[in-house]
């Protein structure tokens, strides 16, 4: 087989890139390790920056997102029983769209199918070769047969645990990591959300987040120990703990119900530099991870895809290589700002095991300053709705 861009990974990054390339008449093949159902079974966040929404519109995959997505003009920040609102619209003139990543991925799969795109599932032993030449290729096994795809470029959209990042030689690759000393225990419940907007809550017992997927599907998280496990928590225990961590008036109106999903996610900040090696370009979780506190995971993947799509389009349309030459530099410039914001939100809202009384006082002062100062709220709002590409 031969194609122009071989995309390793059929998550949101790989699928969005593949669909955008298709709109520019650029051929791509997506190689995904798992089945489609497995990929669609993942529960992920669902807060989309306008940059991501614009990319989906440009890719022609926005009809259901625009119909079913919820525009959020602000978010609520709680500290104990106190709560205040960050008004995205008033502060930035912009907003975010709440629409589950699972639905984004589903829409992208359907768009690829409709366009006759090639997405190969259950591909194992996927390996890129000759990345430092102008004739790279990728080998993989599907249905027990070793196959080869010759291509011009390889997009490593294979997530944090994929192999592409390791293709960058150790003497070239720099990795930056911060692992947080807690996780998020999350549940999905077929109950109405506790509020119209998200509630990020800092409480003496730890962080909590009240989020949603639609008018009858809610997503809640509580900070938990890394040694904890979902099976340690009955639904009743989860709801009781959540109620202690959000403002009383929210706890009193909280509608509880059986969880349909319960899991624990670790929190880490991670960045790989550079994000390019020869004809290999890393995108999304393959290159970087953010703690979910700032809702940036999918949105940082989006700006990578934007820069790479622009670069590849210019290469094929005008034989211009500046875009691909500057991909890593441009992508990382925005990634580090998203890492900073996610790290800052995480430090603002969580209880750290080694926190001193003074540290807690500093956190409370930070929250009070954010509550009282328009400039501080503007900084949070501009980062949350998404910095410019």
The catalytic residue positions are 72, 200, 292, 296, 384
Q: Which does 206 bind (CB under 5 to 8 A by kind): ligand PHB, ligand APR, none?
A: none
Q: Is 12 in the site for ligand APR (CB under 6 A)?
A: yes
Give the interface segment with ligand APR, choosing from 30-38, 57-65, 67-75, 207-215 (CB under 6 A): 30-38
| Nearest alpha-carbon partner for 29 in 19, 41, 39, 42 | 19
Q: Using CB under 6 A, which of 295, 305, 348, 380 touches ligand PHB?
A: 295
Please state whether beta strands 124-129 and 137-142 pair in parallel, antiparallel, or not at all (unpaired): antiparallel
180 in the Ramachandran plot: left (φ > 0), alpha (ψ -120 to 50) or beta? Answer: beta
Cis geometry, peptide bond prior to residue 274 (ω within 30 degrees of 0): yes
Q: How many CB atoms lie within 10 A of CB 38?
A: 12
Which are the contacts of 131, defined by CB distance < 8 A and separation ≥ 6? 154, 167, 277, 278, 279, 280
Q: Which is nearer to ligand APR, 94 or 142 (CB)?
A: 142
Q: Which is nearer to ligand APR, 34 or 225 (CB)?
A: 34
Q: Which does 13 bind (CB under 5 to 8 A by kind): ligand PHB, ligand APR, none?
A: ligand APR
Q: Which is nearer to ligand PHB, 293 or 383 (CB)?
A: 293
Cα–Cα distances in angstroms (integers) from residue 196 to residues 39, 75, 211, 218, 219, in the given order: 29, 9, 9, 11, 13
Q: Which of residues 326-365 bind ligand APR (CB under 6 A)?
A: none
Which are the contacts of 325, defined by CB distance < 8 A and separation ≥ 6? 311
**In the numeric block, which tokens belong to residue 84?**
């205040």
Q: Using CB under 6 A, which of 83, 293, 303, 383 touches ligand PHB?
A: 293
- Judged by CB under 6 A, the number of residues near ligand APR is 28
Helix, strand or coil, per DSSP, at residue 39: helix
| Nearest alpha-carbon partner for 72 in 389, 387, 388, 386 | 386
Q: Which is nearer to ligand APR, 14 or 117 (CB)?
A: 14
Q: Is 118 in the site for ligand APR (CB under 6 A)?
A: no
Give contact residues for ligand APR (rule: CB under 6 A): 8-14, 31-34, 39, 44-45, 101, 123, 126, 157-159, 161-163, 284-285, 297-298, 301
Give contact residues for ligand PHB (rule: CB under 6 A): 45-47, 198, 209, 211, 219, 292-293, 295
């Amino acid at each position: 087989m031969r194609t122009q861009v071989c995309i390793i990974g059929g998550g949101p990054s790989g699928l969005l890139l593949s669909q955008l390339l298709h709109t520019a008449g650029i051929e791509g093949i997506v190689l995904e390790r798992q089945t489609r159902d497995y990929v669609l079974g993942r529960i992920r966040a669902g807060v989309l920056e306008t940059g991501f929404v614009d990319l989906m519109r440009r890719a022609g995959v926005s009809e259901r997102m625009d119909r079913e997505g919820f525009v959020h003009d602000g978010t609520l920040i709680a500290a104990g029983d106190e709560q205040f609102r960050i008004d995205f619209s008033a502060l930035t003139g912009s907003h975010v769209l709440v629409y589950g990543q699972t639905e984004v991925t589903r829409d992208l799969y359907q768009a690829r199918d409709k366009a006759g795109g090639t997405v190969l599932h259950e591909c194992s032993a996927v390996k890129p070769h000759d990345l430092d030449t102008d004739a790279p290729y990728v080998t993989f096994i599907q249905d027990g047969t070793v196959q080869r795809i010759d291509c011009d470029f390889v997009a490593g959209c294979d997530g944090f645990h994929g192999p592409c990042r390791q293709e960058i030689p150790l003497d070239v690759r720099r990795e930056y990591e911060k692992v947080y000393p807690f996780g998020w225990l999350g549940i999905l419940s077929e109950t109405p959300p506790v509020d119209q907007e998200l509630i990020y809550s800092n409480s003496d017992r730890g962080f909590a987040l009240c989020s949603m997927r639609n008018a009858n599907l809610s997503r809640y998280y509580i900070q938990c120990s890394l040694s904890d496990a979902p099976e340690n928590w009955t639904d009743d225990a989860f709801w009781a703990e959540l109620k202690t961590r959000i403002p009383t008036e929210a706890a009193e109106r909280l509608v509880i119900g059986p969880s349909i999903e319960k899991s624990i996610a670790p929190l880490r900040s991670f960045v790989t530099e550079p994000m390019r090696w020869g004809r290999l370009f890393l995108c999304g979780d393959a290159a970087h991870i953010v703690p979910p506190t700032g809702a940036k995971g999918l949105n940082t993947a989006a700006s990578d895809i934007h820069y790479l799509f622009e670069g590849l389009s210019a290469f094929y349309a005008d034989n211009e290589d500046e875009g691909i030459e500057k991909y890593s530099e441009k992508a990382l410039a925005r990634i580090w700002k998203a890492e900073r914001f996610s790290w800052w939100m995480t430090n603002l809202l969580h209880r750290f095991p080694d926190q001193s009384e003074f540290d807690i006082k500093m956190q409370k002062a930070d929250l009070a300053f954010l509550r009282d100062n328009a400039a501080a709220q503007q900084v949070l709002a501009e980062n949350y709705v998404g910095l410019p590409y």
